[in-house]
Amino acid sequence: MNNYPEYNASIIVTDNLEEELGKIISHYPQDKIFLVTEDNCELQCISLIINTPGFANFKKVVLPAGEENKKLSSVEKIWLFLSQNGADRKSLVVNLGGGMLTDLGSFAASTIKRGMDFVNIPTTLLAQVDASVGGKTGFNFNGLKNEIGVINQPVSVLIDTRFLRTIDKPNLVSGYAEMIKHGLINSKDHLDEVRKFDLNNPDYDSLRGIIARSVAIKDSFVFKDPFEKNIRKALNFGHTIGHAFESFALESENPLLHGYAVAFGMIAELYLSHKVCNLPLAIVADLSNWLFDIYGHFAPEENQFEKLFGLMTHDKKNEGARINFTLIPAIGEVAINQNCDKNLVFEALDFIRNFNR
Ligand SMILES: NC(=O)c1ccc[n+]([C@@H]2O[C@H](COP(=O)([O-])OP(=O)(O)OC[C@H]3O[C@@H](n4cnc5c(N)ncnc54)[C@H](O)[C@@H]3O)[C@@H](O)[C@H]2O)c1
Ligand SMILES: [Zn+2]
Protein backbone atom coordinates (compact mmCIF):
# COMPACT_ATOMS: atom_id res chain seq x y z
CA MET A 1 0.00 0.00 0.00
CA ASN A 2 1.44 3.37 -0.95
CA ASN A 3 -0.29 5.89 1.21
CA TYR A 4 2.16 8.74 1.47
CA PRO A 5 0.08 11.65 2.65
CA GLU A 6 -0.24 14.97 0.92
CA TYR A 7 2.93 17.01 1.26
CA ASN A 8 2.76 20.35 3.08
CA ALA A 9 4.36 23.04 0.93
CA SER A 10 5.79 24.88 3.93
CA ILE A 11 8.17 21.96 4.58
CA ILE A 12 10.84 22.23 1.93
CA VAL A 13 13.39 19.46 1.48
CA THR A 14 16.05 21.02 -0.71
CA ASP A 15 19.58 20.93 -2.05
CA ASN A 16 19.18 24.63 -2.79
CA LEU A 17 18.96 25.92 0.75
CA GLU A 18 20.29 29.41 0.26
CA GLU A 19 17.89 30.12 -2.60
CA GLU A 20 14.90 28.83 -0.59
CA LEU A 21 15.89 30.83 2.49
CA GLY A 22 16.46 33.88 0.26
CA LYS A 23 12.89 33.62 -1.07
CA ILE A 24 11.47 33.54 2.45
CA ILE A 25 13.51 36.39 3.87
CA SER A 26 12.68 38.60 0.89
CA HIS A 27 9.27 39.08 2.54
CA TYR A 28 10.85 40.71 5.62
CA PRO A 29 12.83 43.95 6.11
CA GLN A 30 16.57 43.14 5.82
CA ASP A 31 17.35 44.57 9.26
CA LYS A 32 14.64 42.43 10.86
CA ILE A 33 16.12 38.97 10.26
CA PHE A 34 17.45 37.31 13.43
CA LEU A 35 19.54 34.15 13.40
CA VAL A 36 19.36 31.92 16.50
CA THR A 37 21.89 29.09 16.67
CA GLU A 38 24.19 27.20 19.07
CA ASP A 39 27.94 26.88 19.22
CA ASN A 40 28.37 23.52 17.43
CA CYS A 41 26.16 24.68 14.60
CA GLU A 42 27.96 27.99 14.38
CA LEU A 43 31.06 25.98 13.51
CA GLN A 44 29.52 23.20 11.43
CA CYS A 45 26.37 24.57 9.84
CA ILE A 46 26.41 28.31 9.18
CA SER A 47 28.62 27.82 6.10
CA LEU A 48 25.61 26.29 4.29
CA ILE A 49 23.56 29.49 4.61
CA ILE A 50 26.31 32.08 4.43
CA ASN A 51 25.67 32.90 0.76
CA THR A 52 21.98 33.62 1.31
CA PRO A 53 21.28 37.08 -0.14
CA GLY A 54 21.33 39.58 2.72
CA PHE A 55 23.04 37.16 5.14
CA ALA A 56 25.60 39.81 6.16
CA ASN A 57 22.75 41.83 7.67
CA PHE A 58 21.48 38.99 9.87
CA LYS A 59 21.84 39.69 13.55
CA LYS A 60 22.94 36.57 15.39
CA VAL A 61 22.76 35.02 18.85
CA VAL A 62 24.71 31.85 19.67
CA LEU A 63 23.61 29.67 22.60
CA PRO A 64 25.61 26.94 24.30
CA ALA A 65 24.83 23.52 22.73
CA GLY A 66 23.42 20.53 24.60
CA GLU A 67 20.15 19.40 26.19
CA GLU A 68 21.29 20.77 29.57
CA ASN A 69 21.02 24.24 28.04
CA LYS A 70 17.41 23.78 26.97
CA LYS A 71 16.34 25.98 29.86
CA LEU A 72 14.77 29.26 30.81
CA SER A 73 18.05 31.20 30.91
CA SER A 74 18.67 30.31 27.25
CA VAL A 75 15.19 31.53 26.33
CA GLU A 76 15.89 34.74 28.22
CA LYS A 77 19.09 35.17 26.26
CA ILE A 78 17.12 34.97 22.98
CA TRP A 79 14.39 37.32 24.25
CA LEU A 80 17.01 39.84 25.35
CA PHE A 81 18.86 39.64 22.04
CA LEU A 82 15.63 40.17 20.08
CA SER A 83 14.42 42.93 22.35
CA GLN A 84 17.73 44.84 22.36
CA ASN A 85 18.10 44.60 18.58
CA GLY A 86 14.76 46.11 17.68
CA ALA A 87 12.86 42.99 16.76
CA ASP A 88 9.19 43.66 16.18
CA ARG A 89 6.16 41.85 14.84
CA LYS A 90 7.44 42.22 11.25
CA SER A 91 10.64 40.36 12.12
CA LEU A 92 11.70 36.84 11.21
CA VAL A 93 13.62 34.49 13.49
CA VAL A 94 15.73 31.87 11.71
CA ASN A 95 16.47 28.89 13.97
CA LEU A 96 19.51 26.87 12.87
CA GLY A 97 20.29 23.74 14.88
CA GLY A 98 19.12 20.39 16.21
CA GLY A 99 15.88 19.80 18.12
CA MET A 100 17.19 21.43 21.26
CA LEU A 101 17.76 24.69 19.39
CA THR A 102 14.63 24.64 17.22
CA ASP A 103 12.45 23.94 20.30
CA LEU A 104 14.04 26.87 22.18
CA GLY A 105 14.20 29.36 19.31
CA SER A 106 10.63 28.58 18.25
CA PHE A 107 9.39 29.10 21.80
CA ALA A 108 11.24 32.40 22.19
CA ALA A 109 9.89 33.65 18.83
CA SER A 110 6.36 32.47 19.65
CA THR A 111 6.20 34.31 22.94
CA ILE A 112 8.04 37.61 22.45
CA LYS A 113 5.76 40.52 21.53
CA ARG A 114 2.89 38.03 21.35
CA GLY A 115 4.56 36.10 18.55
CA MET A 116 6.97 36.62 15.72
CA ASP A 117 7.39 34.61 12.51
CA PHE A 118 10.08 31.94 12.57
CA VAL A 119 11.71 29.49 10.19
CA ASN A 120 13.37 26.26 11.29
CA ILE A 121 16.49 24.95 9.60
CA PRO A 122 17.06 21.60 11.35
CA THR A 123 20.61 20.25 11.33
CA THR A 124 20.24 16.77 12.87
CA LEU A 125 18.25 13.85 11.49
CA LEU A 126 16.00 13.85 14.58
CA ALA A 127 15.20 17.50 14.06
CA GLN A 128 14.69 17.07 10.30
CA VAL A 129 12.19 14.23 10.54
CA ASP A 130 10.58 15.18 13.84
CA ALA A 131 11.46 18.05 16.17
CA SER A 132 11.43 20.97 13.74
CA VAL A 133 8.00 20.04 12.36
CA GLY A 134 4.65 20.05 14.11
CA GLY A 135 4.84 23.24 16.12
CA LYS A 136 5.71 21.84 19.56
CA THR A 137 8.07 24.35 21.16
CA GLY A 138 9.46 24.77 24.66
CA PHE A 139 12.13 24.07 27.22
CA ASN A 140 12.88 21.87 30.23
CA PHE A 141 11.86 23.16 33.65
CA ASN A 142 11.82 21.88 37.24
CA GLY A 143 13.62 18.69 36.17
CA LEU A 144 10.89 17.85 33.64
CA LYS A 145 11.41 17.60 29.89
CA ASN A 146 9.52 20.14 27.78
CA GLU A 147 7.57 21.25 30.85
CA ILE A 148 6.97 24.76 29.52
CA GLY A 149 5.92 25.31 25.94
CA VAL A 150 3.35 26.29 23.36
CA ILE A 151 2.20 24.80 20.08
CA ASN A 152 2.84 27.27 17.28
CA GLN A 153 3.71 26.54 13.66
CA PRO A 154 6.81 27.84 11.83
CA VAL A 155 6.40 29.82 8.63
CA SER A 156 8.53 27.19 6.96
CA VAL A 157 10.92 24.31 7.65
CA LEU A 158 13.93 24.06 5.33
CA ILE A 159 15.57 20.64 5.29
CA ASP A 160 18.98 20.03 3.73
CA THR A 161 20.65 16.63 4.21
CA ARG A 162 24.13 18.14 3.73
CA PHE A 163 23.99 19.13 7.42
CA LEU A 164 23.92 15.45 8.34
CA ARG A 165 27.45 14.83 7.05
CA THR A 166 28.90 16.23 10.27
CA ILE A 167 26.63 14.64 12.87
CA ASP A 168 27.98 11.64 14.77
CA LYS A 169 26.71 8.11 14.18
CA PRO A 170 24.69 7.84 17.45
CA ASN A 171 22.78 11.01 16.57
CA LEU A 172 22.13 9.73 13.04
CA VAL A 173 20.90 6.40 14.42
CA SER A 174 18.77 8.24 16.99
CA GLY A 175 16.88 10.20 14.32
CA TYR A 176 16.47 7.04 12.25
CA ALA A 177 14.20 5.61 14.99
CA GLU A 178 11.59 8.29 14.28
CA MET A 179 11.60 7.36 10.58
CA ILE A 180 11.04 3.73 11.54
CA LYS A 181 8.13 4.90 13.70
CA HIS A 182 6.59 6.82 10.81
CA GLY A 183 6.73 3.68 8.67
CA LEU A 184 5.22 1.53 11.40
CA ILE A 185 2.28 3.84 12.05
CA ASN A 186 1.52 4.84 8.48
CA SER A 187 3.20 3.06 5.60
CA LYS A 188 4.80 -0.30 4.96
CA ASP A 189 6.41 1.17 1.83
CA HIS A 190 8.12 3.80 3.93
CA LEU A 191 9.23 1.22 6.48
CA ASP A 192 10.74 -0.86 3.68
CA GLU A 193 12.69 2.04 2.21
CA VAL A 194 13.94 3.08 5.66
CA ARG A 195 15.02 -0.50 6.32
CA LYS A 196 16.97 -0.64 3.06
CA PHE A 197 18.92 2.53 3.92
CA ASP A 198 22.53 1.71 4.84
CA LEU A 199 23.33 3.51 8.10
CA ASN A 200 26.96 2.42 7.91
CA ASN A 201 27.47 4.00 4.55
CA PRO A 202 24.89 6.79 4.34
CA ASP A 203 23.93 8.05 0.91
CA TYR A 204 22.74 11.58 1.68
CA ASP A 205 21.16 12.08 -1.72
CA SER A 206 18.85 9.09 -1.38
CA LEU A 207 18.24 10.09 2.24
CA ARG A 208 16.70 13.34 0.96
CA GLY A 209 13.72 11.49 -0.56
CA ILE A 210 13.32 9.22 2.45
CA ILE A 211 13.29 12.21 4.81
CA ALA A 212 10.77 14.01 2.60
CA ARG A 213 8.38 11.07 2.80
CA SER A 214 8.98 10.57 6.52
CA VAL A 215 8.36 14.17 7.45
CA ALA A 216 5.27 14.22 5.23
CA ILE A 217 3.85 11.41 7.35
CA LYS A 218 4.42 13.38 10.55
CA ASP A 219 3.00 16.49 8.94
CA SER A 220 -0.16 14.71 7.82
CA PHE A 221 -0.99 13.74 11.42
CA VAL A 222 -0.18 17.24 12.67
CA PHE A 223 -2.31 18.79 9.92
CA LYS A 224 -5.34 16.68 10.90
CA ASP A 225 -4.96 17.28 14.63
CA PRO A 226 -2.47 20.05 15.51
CA PHE A 227 -3.30 20.11 19.24
CA GLU A 228 -3.12 16.33 19.76
CA LYS A 229 -6.74 15.79 20.71
CA ASN A 230 -6.95 12.50 18.82
CA ILE A 231 -5.10 11.17 15.76
CA ARG A 232 -1.84 13.08 16.35
CA LYS A 233 -1.41 10.63 19.24
CA ALA A 234 -0.35 8.13 16.55
CA LEU A 235 3.05 9.81 16.70
CA ASN A 236 3.42 8.69 20.32
CA PHE A 237 3.95 5.07 19.29
CA GLY A 238 6.97 3.75 21.21
CA HIS A 239 7.10 6.89 23.34
CA THR A 240 5.08 5.95 26.44
CA ILE A 241 7.51 3.21 27.43
CA GLY A 242 10.37 4.96 25.58
CA HIS A 243 10.04 8.12 27.70
CA ALA A 244 10.13 5.97 30.85
CA PHE A 245 13.40 4.37 29.65
CA GLU A 246 14.75 7.82 28.79
CA SER A 247 13.84 9.37 32.16
CA PHE A 248 15.13 6.33 34.06
CA ALA A 249 18.44 6.46 32.19
CA LEU A 250 18.71 10.18 32.86
CA GLU A 251 18.22 9.68 36.61
CA SER A 252 20.84 6.92 36.69
CA GLU A 253 23.27 9.26 34.93
CA ASN A 254 23.62 6.91 32.01
CA PRO A 255 21.59 8.85 29.46
CA LEU A 256 20.04 7.24 26.40
CA LEU A 257 19.63 9.33 23.26
CA HIS A 258 15.95 9.94 22.56
CA GLY A 259 15.81 7.72 19.46
CA TYR A 260 17.44 4.80 21.29
CA ALA A 261 14.87 5.04 24.09
CA VAL A 262 12.08 5.19 21.50
CA ALA A 263 13.47 2.16 19.65
CA PHE A 264 13.40 0.09 22.86
CA GLY A 265 9.98 1.57 23.68
CA MET A 266 8.75 0.45 20.26
CA ILE A 267 9.91 -3.12 20.94
CA ALA A 268 7.87 -3.21 24.16
CA GLU A 269 4.87 -1.55 22.48
CA LEU A 270 5.06 -3.95 19.51
CA TYR A 271 4.58 -6.69 22.07
CA LEU A 272 1.58 -4.81 23.54
CA SER A 273 0.27 -4.43 19.99
CA HIS A 274 0.39 -8.20 19.67
CA LYS A 275 -1.44 -8.77 22.94
CA VAL A 276 -4.08 -6.06 22.56
CA CYS A 277 -4.50 -5.61 18.80
CA ASN A 278 -3.39 -8.98 17.39
CA LEU A 279 -0.29 -7.80 15.59
CA PRO A 280 1.20 -11.17 14.53
CA LEU A 281 3.99 -12.40 16.81
CA ALA A 282 6.19 -13.24 13.80
CA ILE A 283 6.16 -9.53 12.83
CA VAL A 284 6.95 -8.50 16.41
CA ALA A 285 9.91 -10.92 16.46
CA ASP A 286 11.26 -9.81 13.09
CA LEU A 287 11.04 -6.09 13.93
CA SER A 288 12.49 -6.61 17.41
CA ASN A 289 15.49 -8.49 15.99
CA TRP A 290 16.10 -5.69 13.52
CA LEU A 291 15.79 -2.97 16.19
CA PHE A 292 18.13 -4.79 18.60
CA ASP A 293 20.66 -5.16 15.78
CA ILE A 294 20.71 -1.41 15.26
CA TYR A 295 20.26 -0.13 18.83
CA GLY A 296 22.19 -2.83 20.70
CA HIS A 297 21.50 -4.74 23.86
CA PHE A 298 18.95 -3.37 26.31
CA ALA A 299 17.43 -5.30 29.20
CA PRO A 300 15.70 -3.47 32.06
CA GLU A 301 16.05 -5.30 35.39
CA GLU A 302 12.96 -6.78 37.03
CA ASN A 303 13.52 -4.63 40.11
CA GLN A 304 13.25 -1.54 37.89
CA PHE A 305 9.78 -2.37 36.54
CA GLU A 306 7.87 -0.58 39.35
CA LYS A 307 9.89 2.57 38.87
CA LEU A 308 9.47 2.42 35.08
CA PHE A 309 5.72 1.93 35.49
CA GLY A 310 5.60 4.93 37.83
CA LEU A 311 7.36 7.03 35.21
CA MET A 312 4.76 5.97 32.62
CA THR A 313 1.89 7.03 34.86
CA HIS A 314 3.51 10.44 35.19
CA ASP A 315 3.82 10.85 31.45
CA LYS A 316 1.86 14.02 30.67
CA LYS A 317 0.06 12.29 27.83
CA ASN A 318 -1.92 10.14 30.26
CA GLU A 319 -5.29 11.04 31.62
CA GLY A 320 -5.60 10.16 35.30
CA ALA A 321 -3.78 6.96 36.32
CA ARG A 322 -4.58 4.94 33.21
CA ILE A 323 -1.73 4.12 30.88
CA ASN A 324 -2.79 5.20 27.48
CA PHE A 325 -0.93 3.67 24.54
CA THR A 326 -0.86 4.11 20.81
CA LEU A 327 -0.53 0.62 19.34
CA ILE A 328 -0.36 -0.87 15.85
CA PRO A 329 -2.75 -3.65 14.77
CA ALA A 330 -0.71 -4.03 11.54
CA ILE A 331 2.26 -2.31 9.93
CA GLY A 332 0.95 1.02 8.67
CA GLU A 333 -2.12 1.13 10.93
CA VAL A 334 -2.67 2.69 14.36
CA ALA A 335 -5.05 2.27 17.27
CA ILE A 336 -4.93 5.23 19.67
CA ASN A 337 -6.20 5.34 23.29
CA GLN A 338 -5.45 1.70 24.12
CA ASN A 339 -5.40 1.25 27.89
CA CYS A 340 -3.14 -1.42 29.32
CA ASP A 341 -3.01 -2.55 32.91
CA LYS A 342 0.06 -2.94 35.03
CA ASN A 343 0.36 -6.72 34.54
CA LEU A 344 0.43 -6.35 30.79
CA VAL A 345 2.96 -3.53 30.91
CA PHE A 346 5.20 -5.71 33.12
CA GLU A 347 4.78 -8.52 30.58
CA ALA A 348 5.97 -6.17 27.83
CA LEU A 349 8.99 -5.18 29.95
CA ASP A 350 9.68 -8.89 30.48
CA PHE A 351 9.47 -9.42 26.73
CA ILE A 352 12.19 -6.89 26.08
CA ARG A 353 14.25 -8.17 29.03
CA ASN A 354 14.17 -11.80 27.91
CA PHE A 355 14.21 -11.34 24.17
CA ASN A 356 16.06 -14.27 22.70
CA ARG A 357 18.27 -12.83 19.97
N1 LIG B 1 9.26 19.66 19.12
C2 LIG B 1 9.11 18.38 18.90
O3 LIG B 1 8.10 17.90 18.39
C4 LIG B 1 10.23 17.46 19.27
C5 LIG B 1 10.24 16.13 18.81
C6 LIG B 1 11.31 15.33 19.13
C7 LIG B 1 12.37 15.83 19.88
N8 LIG B 1 12.33 17.13 20.32
C9 LIG B 1 13.44 17.70 21.09
O10 LIG B 1 14.61 17.68 20.29
C11 LIG B 1 15.75 17.63 21.15
C12 LIG B 1 16.69 16.59 20.61
O13 LIG B 1 17.08 16.98 19.31
P14 LIG B 1 18.48 16.55 18.68
O15 LIG B 1 18.62 15.08 18.78
O16 LIG B 1 18.56 17.22 17.37
O17 LIG B 1 19.52 17.14 19.75
P18 LIG B 1 20.45 18.42 19.77
O19 LIG B 1 19.82 19.59 19.18
O20 LIG B 1 20.96 18.52 21.17
O21 LIG B 1 21.66 17.97 18.80
C22 LIG B 1 22.46 16.85 19.12
C23 LIG B 1 23.95 17.22 19.05
O24 LIG B 1 24.32 17.43 17.69
C25 LIG B 1 24.96 18.70 17.55
N26 LIG B 1 24.69 19.12 16.19
C27 LIG B 1 23.53 19.61 15.68
N28 LIG B 1 23.63 19.72 14.35
C29 LIG B 1 24.85 19.29 14.01
C30 LIG B 1 25.51 19.15 12.76
N31 LIG B 1 24.91 19.40 11.59
N32 LIG B 1 26.78 18.68 12.77
C33 LIG B 1 27.40 18.36 13.93
N34 LIG B 1 26.80 18.46 15.14
C35 LIG B 1 25.54 18.92 15.16
C36 LIG B 1 24.39 19.54 18.65
O37 LIG B 1 25.24 20.63 18.97
C38 LIG B 1 24.29 18.51 19.78
O39 LIG B 1 25.56 18.36 20.38
C40 LIG B 1 15.24 17.34 22.54
O41 LIG B 1 15.29 18.51 23.30
C42 LIG B 1 13.78 16.92 22.32
O43 LIG B 1 12.96 17.25 23.40
C44 LIG B 1 11.29 17.94 20.01
ZN1 LIG C 1 10.35 11.05 19.56
- Is the C-beta atom of 85 inside 6 A of ligand 1? no
CA–CA distance, 62 with 314 (Å, rounded to integer): 34
Ligand 1 atom with minimal separation from the 101 CA: 19
Q: How far is CA 340 from the centre of its chain?
A: 25
CA–CA distance, 20 with 320 (Å, rounded to integer): 45
Q: Whose CA is nearest to atom 12 of ligand 1?
A: 99
Ligand 1 atom with minimal separation from the 40 CA: 37
CA–CA distance, 174 with 86 (Å, rounded to integer): 38
Residue spans in the chain of domains classed CATH 3.40.50.1970: 11-168
For 68-108, the pLDDT digits (tens) are: 999 999 999 999 999 999 999 999 999 999 999 999 999 99
Q: Whose CA is nearest to atom 27 of ligand 1?
A: 98
148: left (phi over 0), alpha (psi -120 to 50) or beta: beta
Task: Give the global pTM.
Answer: 0.94
Residue spans in the chain of domains classed CATH 1.20.1090.10: 170-354
Q: Is 76 exposed, middle or buried (0-12, 13-18, 19+ CB in 10 A)?
A: exposed
Considering every ligand atom shown, identify the ligand nearest to the alpha carbon of residue 164 and give its number: 1
Which CATH number is 11-168's, of 3.40.120.10, 3.40.190.10, 3.40.640.10, 3.40.50.1970? 3.40.50.1970
Considering every ligand atom shown, identify the ligand nearest to the alpha carbon of residue 103 and give its number: 1
Considering every ligand atom shown, identify the ligand nearest to the alpha carbon of residue 126 and give its number: 1
CA of 23 to the centre of ligand 2 (A): 31
Shortest CA distance to 297 belongs to which of 267, 322, 336? 267
Residue 5: pLDDT band (50, 70, 90) is very low
- Is the C-beta atom of 38 inside 6 A of ligand 1? yes
4: left (phi over 0), alpha (psi -120 to 50) or beta: beta
Is residue 1 pLDDT above 50, yes or no? Answer: no
CA of 167 to the centre of ligand 1 (A): 10
Radius of gyration of the chain (CA): 20
Superfamily of segment(s) 170-354: Dehydroquinate synthase-like - alpha domain (1.20.1090.10)
Ligand 1 atom with minimal separation from the 163 CA: 31
Ligand 1 atom with minimal separation from the 137 CA: 1
Using a pLDDT cut of 90, give the percent of the chain over it.
Answer: 87
For 108-158, the pLDDT digits (tens) are: 999 999 999 999 999 999 999 999 899 999 999 887 888 999 999 999 999
Residue 252: pLDDT band (50, 70, 90) is confident
CA of 207 to the centre of ligand 1 (A): 18
Using a pLDDT cut of 70, give the percent of the chain over it.
Answer: 95
CA of 27 to the centre of ligand 2 (A): 33
CA–CA distance, 353 with 349 (Å, rounded to integer): 6
- Is the C-beta atom of 263 inside 6 A of ligand 1? no
- Is the C-beta atom of 69 inside 6 A of ligand 1? no
